[in-house]
């Protein structure tokens, strides 16, 4: 089971700008100043690390750590 701390670590590594220290489980990434380019880097890193493909139509729904965790756990991770 994927942990929130793992996703936060990926975000810290992938995001160039934004208020990373203010991100909680349900903090919307846009509210933390994370732009769409940085989010694409996050999604690519998640895909690489966990060996999953996040469908384009799903990306719009994954706007906080809790949503990413729910998606990954629904994939059996």
Here the CATH number for the domain that contains residue 35 is: 1.10.1200.10
Long-range CB pairs of 66-74, under 8 A, 24+ apart, other chains included: 66/4, 66/25, 66/26, 68/7, 69/2, 69/3, 69/4, 69/7, 69/25, 72/2, 72/46, 73/1, 73/2
What string of pLDDT tens digits covers the 77 residues of the chain? 899 999 999 999 998 877 888 899 999 999 999 999 999 999 999 999 999 999 999 999 999 999 999 999 999 99
Residue 38: give the domain boundaries. 4-74
The model scores a pTM over 0.95 = no
Distance between CA atoms of residues 17 and 32, nearest Å: 9
Instruction: Domain count for the chain, please give it.
Output: 1
């Amino acid at each position: 089971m994927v942990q929130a701390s793992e996703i936060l670590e990926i975000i810290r590594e992938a995001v160039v700008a934004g208020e990373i220290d203010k991100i909680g489980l349900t903090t919307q990434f846009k509210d933390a100043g994370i732009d769409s380019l940085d989010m694409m880097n996050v999604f690519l890193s998640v895909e690489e690390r966990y060996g999953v493909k996040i469908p384009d139509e799903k990306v719009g729904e994954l706007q906080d750590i809790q949503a990413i965790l729910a998606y990954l756990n629904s994939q059996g991770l």
